[in-house]
Chain A
Amino acid sequence: MHAEATSNETIVTVKELQKSYGDHRVLNGVNLSVKRGERIVICGPSGSGKSTLIRCINGLETFEGGTVGVTDLKTGTQLTKLSDIRREVGMVFQSFNLFPHLTVLQNCMLAQIKVRKEQKSVARDRAMHFLQKVRISEQANKHPGQLSGGQQQRAAIARALCMNPSVMLFDEPTSALDPEVVQEVLDTMVGLAKDGMTMLCVTHEMGFAQKVADRVIFIDGGGIVEEAPPTEFFYSPKHDRVRAFLSRVHDHGQPVAA
């Protein structure tokens, strides 16, 4: 499952990122570079700044130092304006954040129409296409409140995909789900990876990381402690903190690696 990144295009560049909440330094000079088609899993203890990192990428968090850059795949230009960046970056949240007053279909169509200025019919077709991809097309006309957690998260993934993003960010997408439905969402994400989507994923699901990731990044105390391909990361981590973390985190009940 470790297909090489298909080109050398760098999609996301993070340089010396600094972020503080008041006096508390959350990110301390983080450097990260993501190539097209790469799948990066970011893990670490609570409060380590992993969510903050990806939220800085699409501007949901502001930062005090360093730079974040996202490349538009189609035009190849480096995007710096927040609204442009957000168009190219899709995000899936722990709490789904679907719009409850709209149907699933309308959820998927809204941004296409308002931001990408698509025609309604084009938007609808694309929405149905992605809803089919995540296998909830029959729920298209239901409201989010009528769906299960797993279905809602898959709808959220489809909604993000409808914008044809260059890169998808996942912020603990399965942490709020009942155990029974975690797998269906993970499977959807694996399918996305197979299709070559560039992904940055903050998650505790180590099985998913082993299966899909090109690189696993461990963040602790505001900085990247270790960054390695999964085999090396899980079976021969260099740092004690990583080892300690791995021994605490179970892959669906099984302790992972050393």
Chain B
Amino acid sequence: MHFDFQAIGRALPFLMDGLAFTFELTAVACIGGLILGTGMAIIRQLQVPVASRLVSVYVTLMRCIPLILVLFWFFFLVPLILGYLSATGRPIPLGPKTTAFVTFTMFEAAYYAEIVRSGFKAIHKGQYEGAKALGLSTTTMYASVIIPQVLSATAPIIVTQTIILFQDTALVYVLSLNDFLGIAARIAQRDGKLVEFYTFVAIVYFILCSVGSELAERLRRKAPTTVRRVKSFRVLGLPLP
């Protein structure tokens, strides 16, 4: 069987564009999801009425249904919601790319929220008391005392989740987007070189994820643990995948 390396060589610039989009999507979803997820976890921790329940339902929903279905939902819903919120009242078509950014951010936020929530459990009750006794406001307490410890304790799991996110971005294939897999698939189908391109995609993902996991492992071992690390966690409600 003949492996057409040149086909890949010719397509390399486009493939790299796709890979750049994949990285972009991962980065946006990671940062946005982490911020949103931390906020959600705090809302649940503070037991804010109504909002807390909503977050709970949202997180359960996101963790119960497949990401592909979530992608279909958001692709359909986001323009509707935006239209509802906007002046015209008509659906604003966002385009698949923006939808993907929004979807992944919202989806990952649910997972990060659960991770952060488990981190809260790892924090000794005395930390809250020590902060309160000093007169720290709730905002300061969370910002300066609790959240830094939570993030430090859950950092390894957050990194692992981010690597999973990186792999999950490949699912934008179902929206016909031009991420790494999407572009590779498009070119492969056009040129009839499925074997070459899919193998290439697999190898590149393998290298990137292996390196990522290895870096994560090194980081976990090297970083001084001033805070007790969360090794595994089973949060009340659904167990995390």
Contacts and interface: CB of A to CB of B under 8 A. Distances in A.
Interface of A: 58-60, 83, 86-87, 89-91, 93, 95-101, 110-111, 114-115, 143, 145, 156, 159-160, 163
Contact of A160 (B124, B134, B140): B134
B129 A145 contact: no
A101 B136 contact: no
10 contacts: A91-B133, A96-B130, A99-B149, A100-B226, A101-B148, A101-B226, A110-B144, A111-B134, A111-B135, A143-B226
B126 A93 contact: yes
Contacts of A95: 124, 126
User: Which bucket holds chain B's interface residue count?
Assistant: 20 to 34
Contacts of A160: 133-134
Nearest to A162: B134
Nearest to A58: B133
Contacts of B148: 101
Contacts of B53: none
B121 interface: no
B134 A86 contact: yes
A115 B227 contact: no
A161 B129 CA distance: 16
Contacts of A143: 226
Contacts of A98: 130
Contacts of A58: 132-133
Contacts of A110: 134, 136, 144-145
**6 nearest A-B residue pairs (beta carbon):** A97-B130, A111-B134, A91-B133, A86-B135, A97-B126, A87-B135
A156 B126 CA distance: 12
B137 interface: yes
B98 interface: no
Given A100-B149, A101-B152, A101-B227, A159 B134 contact: yes
Contacts of A86: 132-135
A95 B128 CA distance: 12
Given A111-B135, A114-B140, A115-B136, A93 B130 contact: yes
Interface string B101-144: 00000000000000000000000101101111111110010001
A72 B131 CA distance: 20
A111 B132 CA distance: 10
A99 B129 contact: no
A87 B226 CA distance: 27
Nearest to A100: B226
Nearest to B152: A101
B156 to A, nearest CB: 16
B55 to A, nearest CB: 26
B127 A97 contact: yes
Pick the most buried of A83, A97, A143: most chain B CB atoms within 10 A of its CB: A97
A82 to B, nearest CB: 9
A101 B137 CA distance: 19
